[in-house]
Structure 1
Amino acid sequence: MALLEIKNLTLFIDAGDETVKALEKVNLTLNEGEIRALVGESGSGKTLIVRAILGAIPDNWSIKADRITYQGKSLLDMSGEQRRQIMRREIAVVFQEPASALDPSVKIKEQIKESIPDEFITKAWPWKQNKQREELTVNLLHRVGIKNHKRYMECYPHEIPTDISQKIMIAMALASEPKILIADDSTRGMESATKTQILRLLLKFNETKKLAILFVSHDLLAITSMAHSMTVLYCGQTVESGKVKSLLKRPLHPYTKALLDSAPSFQVSLPPKSKLVTLEGTIPTLQHLPTGCRLGPRCPNARKECVMVPVPRNIQDHLYSCHFPLHLPKNTKHKVYKEVKL
């Protein structure tokens, strides 16, 4: 059984004069101990999926899905309090901007202490409880690589560097020993050394604690170095999903290939000072979505059949949604594909 499973998630946004589909029939699974990357251009809907999982949606948003389950239990059928309990203990989130996620008026020590669940405090007397919380706080800072804890515990968020703030956010997220960690573009803008340190930290917890990680990022090089599987989004739809090695070796969807081609790290034979490969055009607005395949107006392989919505298909756990997939084996025909029933 998957830890987290999303089936046919559609998210509607009431824009006043009309209702638009920000997400449409998105599918995603996350198993125990798995690191799944969620990739796509800005505006593809990655953060919207995270907010749908957390239940952090405004009043003018509405969700329709076959299921959104955690350990087989429907998150959609839970009360607000039941869902908050799961988010407090079982599913943790690290946001991309720690400065905006931390309380600017409270010292770091107090914020970390508050994130430690009461169940972890075993001391009977109040003064002993406070001491135990401080000990656990120091231990959490050490676990995320902050050895000089005294320097930062008495600081306010604006007084510490961004990379330390990000580690503190990770410490707070891991305080409840969750089963799932959602890292929402948590390494954006970081220098290379700091980014590498954060990624190694996440890998360490994945390997030692079997922590499942949903890694939302634009950084394809970081994704391919740590993720086991990858889901590619375009304009609110899942266009391809599978093992990272499979997608790198044989991307079936033109958009996935375009993403990989745009990263110089994946083009060993790229001559110096040559132009990078880009996909012409921009991602369409939600108010002006194209008919059929949403990549159609930008796709170099588009044909007249692309005005129809492509049927999701599956080849050896490699899912894609395209009328004319790339890199198919020569002996493979469309009729032998196993269609995914939505």
Structure 2
Amino acid sequence: MPLLDIRNLTIEMDMAEGRVKAVDRVSLTINEGKVRGLIGESGSGKSLIGKAIVGISKPNWRITADRLRLGDIDLMNLSERERRRVMREDIAMIFQDPATCLDPSEEVGTQLEKSIPTDNFKGGFWRRFQWRKKQAQALLHKVGIKDHRHVMQSYPYELSQGVCQQVMIAMAIAGKPKLLIADEPSASMDPNTASQILKLLKRLNQTNNMTILLVSNDFATVRELAQDVSIIYCGQIVEVAQTKEIISRAFHPYTQALLDALPEQRRQSAAKTPMKNLAGSVPLLQHLPIGCRLGPRCPHAQKQCVEQPVLQKKRSHLFACHFPLKQE
């Protein structure tokens, strides 16, 4: 039984130009103890999917889904109290912009200590506060922060973006959630710290059986952790497969463009040759093309691409393209 099961998730937004679909009928399944990568360019709707899972929305959003379940919990029909319980015990999210998610009026140490559950604490209540402080220090060390005293006594605006991101990761893993949604967890960090964070996530997955949805625009980061990967473009899933399979044989032109941007692909190219890339840019939500949303940028586009492609299945490989690559 999958831990996270999403069927036809759609997120619509009311804007000045009218209602637009930021996420369009996205389906996503993650089995317990697995790592699923969700890859796409900025503005493709990746972060919105994570926020919909944890129940974050705005007044001008309209979220619908045929199914949105965490195990046997229906996330679409939770009361506020039930949702807070699920967020406390079962789901945690590492947000992409930590500076806006931490309280600027409270010290980082206080915020981190509040995120540590006391369910497993045994002893007198007078020892609980000191226990939480020690747990907070241990969490900071785990995410690569050595000077825990300085960080715990600081306010978020006194710390760098990278350190704030490390603090947010510590807060997310404090409760040992069943599902961790990591939205660009190492984007604002130096390479050494980013490598340490990825190793931490991998260890949590292997030792704690923590299920992870890894959201990123970097294929190189995702392939280090994820067993399976979903590619999203303009709010639609365009390809789904095991990570090794999709790297060796991508069917969708957009997936191939992401693979062509990997560092080893650049090193294999002859000196001074232009790097392969797709022409144009991601269309605005208010001006999405008819049919295949990659059509105006796709080098393989034909007349049939004015019709919306449906997901096709070839063994365990799903792709939405009228003219897939590497067909026998």
TM-score (norm 2): 0.94
Deviation at 1:133, TM superposition (A): 1.6
* Cα distance in 1 for residues equivalent to 2:55 and 2:33: 23
Q: Is residue 144–residue 193 contact of structure 2 (8 Å, CA) maintained in 1?
A: no
* 2:29 alignment partner, SS class: strand
Structure 2 residue 12 is matched with structure 1 residue 12: yes
Aligned equivalent of 1:176: 175
Distance 2:110 2:263 in 1: 44
Equivalents in 2 of 1:20, 1:288: separation in Å? 9
- Equivalent residue, structure 2, for 1:334: none
Contact persistence 1:97–1:186 (CA under 8 A): no
Task: Kindly indicate whether residue 61 of structure 2 is the aligned counterpart of residue 45 of structure 1.
Answer: no
Size of the aligned set, in residue pairs, is: 328
Alignment match, 2:208: 209
Displacement of 1:188 in angstroms is: 1.4
Give deviations 1:75-112, integer Å, cap 9, x for gaps.
00111221121112211111223222222222222111
- Alignment RMSD (CA, Å): 1.7
User: Is the partner of 2:181 in helix, strand or coil?
Assistant: strand
Q: Identify the residue that residue 312 of structure 2 maps to in structure 1.
A: 313
Percent of matched pairs sharing the same residue: 45
Distance in structure 1 (CA, Å) of the matches to 2:263 and 2:149: 42
Give, in whole Å, the separation in 2 of the partners of 1:266 and 1:226. 20
Q: Secondary structure at the match of 2:313?
A: strand
Is this contact kept in 2: 1:90–1:178, CA < 8 A?
A: yes
Q: Which amino acid aligns with 1:308?
A: E
How much has 1:16 moved relative to structure 2? Answer: 4.2
Residues 143, 196 of structure 2: 8 Å contact kept: no
Give me the whole-angstrom Cα distance separating, in 1, the residues matched to 2:272 and 2:36: 33
Task: Using the TM superposition, name which of 133-142 and 27-36 deviates more.
Answer: 133-142
1:267 deviation in Å? Answer: 4.5
Q: Provide the residue aligned with 1:261 in structure 2.
A: 260
Partner of 1:72: 72
Map of 1:159 onto structure 2: 158
**Greater shift after overlay, 188-197 or 49-58?**
188-197
Distance 1:170 1:269 in 2: 35
> How much does 1:17 deviate?
4.9
Which runs of no fewer than 5 residues in structure 2 stay unpaired?
Answer: none
- Measured in 1, the distance between the counterparts of 2:241 and 2:256 equals 14
Quick one: distance in 2 between partners of 1:133 and 1:60? 39
Equivalent in the alignment of 1:32: 32
Partners of 2:261 and 2:276 within 8 A in 1: yes
Per-residue CA distance 1:162-212 (angstroms, 9 max, x = gap): 433322211111111101111111211322222111111111111111111
Deviations, residues 21-75 of structure 1 (Å, cap 9, x unaligned): 1111111111222111111111111111111111111111111211011013210
3-state secondary structure, aligned to 1:47: helix
For the residues of structure 1 that align with 2:266 and 2:241, how far apart are their CA atoms?
A: 21
Deviation at 1:277, TM superposition (A): 0.9
Instruction: In structure 2, give the amino acid aligned to 1:74.
Output: D
- Residue 122 (structure 1) aligns with: 122
1:285-327 deviation line (CA, Å, top 9, x unaligned): 1222211111111111111111111121112221111111111
- Distance in 1, matches of 2:194 and 2:142, equals 17
- 2:279 match: secondary structure: coil
Alignment TM-score, normalising by the size of structure 1: 0.91
Q: Is 1:279 the counterpart of 2:278 in the alignment?
A: yes
The residue identity in structure 2 corresponding to 1:135 is K
Residues 128-168 of structure 1: CA deviation (Å, up to 9, x unaligned): 22122222222322333334433432222233344333222
AA at the equivalent of 1:48 = L
